[in-house]
């Protein structure tokens, strides 16, 4: 697996990067129109009524509290991708992998500094220990429980997204067990954290699926991931492959399982949408002073939410790329070639 400077490859994959760019641009323009000013970085936009757009974008303590969720869905995404992707024929660049690891460490280190210095040590620890869901709310299970309904839906949505994307971009779908370890790890981590974060895990799981506030938040999360999270690693991963023109439908049990996953996702997501609307999404959200009547529209809640997850999407993309690269090293051998350090497959 290495970068291939093929024109058509770059041309097809780069369109995915326009999805998050367009999402952020349209969200910014909406917020600008709402607040009646073009410069928003010093304007309070967070639904809590506390943070400016700049603080919302670099809400580091909030991001650190989300890392268990991000690790889970990154494992799920990488596992799904590997399960449907042929083994790479080209060597994996050790320098490329090292850069990804360095960027992850840098992102985490900078986030810790920002979180502690600006948002405070108590706020950071409360988010990390899964005690906090938002600036003014401490509750058992913290952000993990708040994201539990949306995280559950990702187990149904992500495999379908990966399959559809590979077909749309003419990449071969070759089924293997290369990603099974990551899929099992995602399920194990989700189960373990749910147990660790709650004194009564089963009661907590049942509760979040009946609570309109949790379900409304889940709808917003599901509307965020495909537009700002997933396109980033997919654009890079597709760039690493050559198009083959293979649009062949997957048959048999696997095809049926994907259809079933898509149907179950739609049922679960539809249930969340209905419960959210019936209970008035605006009343379930926080009520900042800048909102007329104290209520924010669905469009506003979505627009500001995209910026709240900038750090999350970067961490997710980098971790996913790293996890996809790891299984390519069946046998690791180091060598110097043209002053570059490479890690190669045993079959290369």
Tens digits of residue pLDDT in 311-343? 999 999 999 999 998 875 543 333 333 333 333
Helix axes 180-197, 67-84, angle to 10 degrees: 160
Which pair of tokens denotes residue 310?
């900038």
Looking at the domain assignment, is residue 1 inside a domain?
Answer: no
Range in 100-109, 125-134, 234-243, 258-267 the model is least confident about? 234-243
Whether 235 and 17 have beta carbons less than 8 Å apart is answered as yes
| Closest-CA residue to 101 (of 319, 294, 340) | 319
Return the higher-pLDDT residue of 10 and 80.
80
Domain count, the chain: 1
What range defines the domain where residue 247 resides?
7-327
Q: Which of 48-52, 63-67, 138-142 reaches the highest mean pLDDT?
A: 63-67
Q: Quote the pLDDT of residue 201.
A: 92
Q: What is the mean pLDDT of residues 258-276?
A: 94
Whether 62 and 127 have beta carbons less than 8 Å apart is answered as yes
Query: Of all helices (H) and strands (E), which one includes residue 337?
Result: strand 334-337
Return the higher-pLDDT residue of 4 and 78.
78
Inter-CA distances, 278 with 95, 284, 293, Å:
52, 11, 20
Query: pLDDT tens digit string along 188-230?
Result: 999 999 999 999 999 999 999 999 989 988 999 999 999 999 9
Range in 124-128, 152-156, 168-172, 213-217 the model is least confident about? 168-172
Looking at the domain assignment, is residue 336 inside a domain?
Answer: no
Looking at the domain assignment, is residue 337 inside a domain?
Answer: no
Q: Quote the pLDDT of residue 22.
A: 95
Which pair of tokens denotes residue 197?
């974060």
Q: Quote the pLDDT of residue 328.
A: 55
* Residue 284 binned pLDDT confidence (cut-offs 50, 70, 90): low
Looking at the domain assignment, is residue 226 inside a domain?
Answer: yes
Whether 178 and 100 have beta carbons less than 8 Å apart is answered as no
Q: What is the mean pLDDT of residues 169-174?
A: 84
Query: Of all helices (H) and strands (E), which one includes residue 335?
Result: strand 334-337
Query: Of all helices (H) and strands (E), which one includes residue 133?
Result: strand 132-134
Looking at the domain assignment, is residue 24 inside a domain?
Answer: yes
Q: Quote the pLDDT of residue 267.
A: 96
Looking at the domain assignment, is residue 346 inside a domain?
Answer: no
What is the pTM (predicted TM-score) of this model?
A: 0.86
Whether 255 and 160 have beta carbons less than 8 Å apart is answered as no
Query: Taking all residues of the chain, what is their mean pLDDT, rounded to a whole number?
Result: 84
Looking at the domain assignment, is residue 33 inside a domain?
Answer: yes
* Residue 346 binned pLDDT confidence (cut-offs 50, 70, 90): very low
Q: Quote the pLDDT of residue 4.
A: 39
The proportion of the chain whose per-residue pLDDT surpasses 90, expressed as a percent, equals 59
Range in 80-84, 103-107, 208-212, 236-240 the model is least confident about? 236-240
Looking at the domain assignment, is residue 348 inside a domain?
Answer: no
Q: Quote the pLDDT of residue 6.
A: 41
339 CB neighbour count, 10 Å cutoff: 5
Return the higher-pLDDT residue of 41 and 172.
41
């Amino acid at each position: 697996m290495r970068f291939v400077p093929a024109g058509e490859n770059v041309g097809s994959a780069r369109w995915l990067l326009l999805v998050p760019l367009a999402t952020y641009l349209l969200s910014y323009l909406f917020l600008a129109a709402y607040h009646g000013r073009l410069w928003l970085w010093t304007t309070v936009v967070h639904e809590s009524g506390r943070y400016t757009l700049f603080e919302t974008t670099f809400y580091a303590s909030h991001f650190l509290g989300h890392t268990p969720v991000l690790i889970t869905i990154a494992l799920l995404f990488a596992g799904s991708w590997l399960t449907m992707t042929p083994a790479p024929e080209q060597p994996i660049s050790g320098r490329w992998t090292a850069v990804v690891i360095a960027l992850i460490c840098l992102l985490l280190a900078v986030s810790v500094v920002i979180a502690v210095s600006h948002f405070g040590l108590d706020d950071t620890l409360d988010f990390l220990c899964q005690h906090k869901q938002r600036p003014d709310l401490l509750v058992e299970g913290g952000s993990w429980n708040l994201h539990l309904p949306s995280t559950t839906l990702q187990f149904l949505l992500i495999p379908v997204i990966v399959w559809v994307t590979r077909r749309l971009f003419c990449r071969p779908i070759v089924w293997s067990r290369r990603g099974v370890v990551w899929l099992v790890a995602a399920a194990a981590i989700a189960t373990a954290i749910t147990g660790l974060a709650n004194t009564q895990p089963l009661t907590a799981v049942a509760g979040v699926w009946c609570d309109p506030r949790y379900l409304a938040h889940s709808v917003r999360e599901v509307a965020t991931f495909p537009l700002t999270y997933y396109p980033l690693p997919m654009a890079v991963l597709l760039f690493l492959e050559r198009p083959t023109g293979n649009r062949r439908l997957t048959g048999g049990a696997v095809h049926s399982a994907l259809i079933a996953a898509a149907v179950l996702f739609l049922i679960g997501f539809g249930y969340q949408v209905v419960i959210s609307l019936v209970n008035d999404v605006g009343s379930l959200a926080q009520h900042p002073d800048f909102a007329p009547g104290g209520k924010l529209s669905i469009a506003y809640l979505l627009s500001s939410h995209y910026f709240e997850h900038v750090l999350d999407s970067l961490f997710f993309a980098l971790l996913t790329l790293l996890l996809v690269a790891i299984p390519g090293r069946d046998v690791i051998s180091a060598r110097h070639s043209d002053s570059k350090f490479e890690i190669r497959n045993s079959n290369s």
